[in-house]
Homo-oligomer: A and B are copies of this chain.
Amino acid sequence: MSSGSDSGTGGARRRPVTLRDVALAAGVSVATASKALNDQGRMTAETRTRIQDTARQLGFRPNGLAQSLLRRRSFTVGLLTNDTYGRFSLPVMAGISEALVDNGVSVFLCNVEDDPRLGQLHVDAMLDKRVDGIIATGKRVDRHLPVDLAGLGLPVIYAFTQPDPGSIAFVSDDEGGARLAVEHLARLGRRRIAHVTGPETFAVVHQRARAHADVLAEQGLDPMPALMGPWSEAWGHEAIARLFDGTGEAPDAVFCGNDQIARGVIDALRERSVRVPDDVAVVGFDNWEIVARASRPPLTTVDMNLVALGREAGLTLLSLVDGTRVEPGIRKLPCRLMVRESCGQPPGG
């Protein structure tokens, strides 16, 4: 405002005002100026406010680089991910970023794209810039990032990606989430709950399938198959064809491995005039709102609480940076069932 109309499109930048400038203007030494601005040391109240006023007037901001150099702490962390576009790491990153920024810590975005060269490039850059710690996140819980973060001499936290052994990680409780879904269906009186899910190469597929089978057994329900295929709408379609055109009795509920599959399932059911939720209830996984909300009817689905997971990871990194000892290991954070309309009401409801 007060500095005129520099359009800022290039050319000479004005030199930032330093503590020396403030001290000079206030007629004191830099030491005194520093103490005045940090509410430290001893001096007359008059001197202190005079210096503070001068600083404000000059628009003084302490140079964070100099502070970091001295404090051996940059208030900066690196966020390593191989999934910038992805809908999993995004909420995680948002949660991390939120937790850190609230604590005055800035976040370097480092997209490594499954490329070891890029990974090393980013890690080197972070090391050079003296980040206080690193958070690694990815698109799959069971895949490593293309870099080795152990032995860097820095605190490292893993969120939603496979950790180095002996480190600290936060992941979602997929068994728990799957239980939530299947128990919900059982509670609503569904007896034949099928499972349509992703490729068997994914660890979570097996975790969720096991929970599905376990809950059926616990509830005294007949075992039902877990159909594995791609994570796509098309596979949802095809799975419905298999389930309804086969010889066995058709299901009255489908627990899907993700929301895209669920969307395909719902569309396929509608195309064969099977009513959702009246004839068949459907539950998804991920709570990918744009998909879950657009399906007809809106999809009841498991939310992995990824933002909370990220926040937790961020806060844990901060306490690590502060020197707190944190027990290594993998922490599973609970999921949450997002109830919409694809399961209907319980018989008595």
Measuring CB to CB, which residues of chain A are less than 8 angstroms from any residue of chain B?
1, 3-14, 16, 61-66, 68-69, 74-76, 79, 84-85, 90-91, 93-94, 97-98, 101, 104, 106-111, 118, 121-122, 124-130, 149-156, 166-168, 232-234, 260, 267, 290, 294, 320, 323-328
Contact = CB atoms under 8 A, between A and B. Distances in A.
Contact of A94 (B10, B111, B152): B111
Given A65-B129, A90-B84, A294-B234, A323 B10 contact: yes
Given A3-B151, A65-B69, A84-B90, A167 B130 contact: no
A164 to B, nearest CB: 8
Nearest to A3: B151
A327 B150 CA distance: 47
Given A65-B130, A130-B65, A168 B9 contact: yes
Given A93-B84, A109-B108, A9 B125 contact: no
A325 B11 contact: yes
Give the copy number.
2
B111 A108 contact: no
A154 B12 CA distance: 10
A303 to B, nearest CB: 14
Given A63-B69, A64-B129, A109-B107, A8 B326 contact: no
Given A65-B69, A69-B69, A8 B155 contact: yes
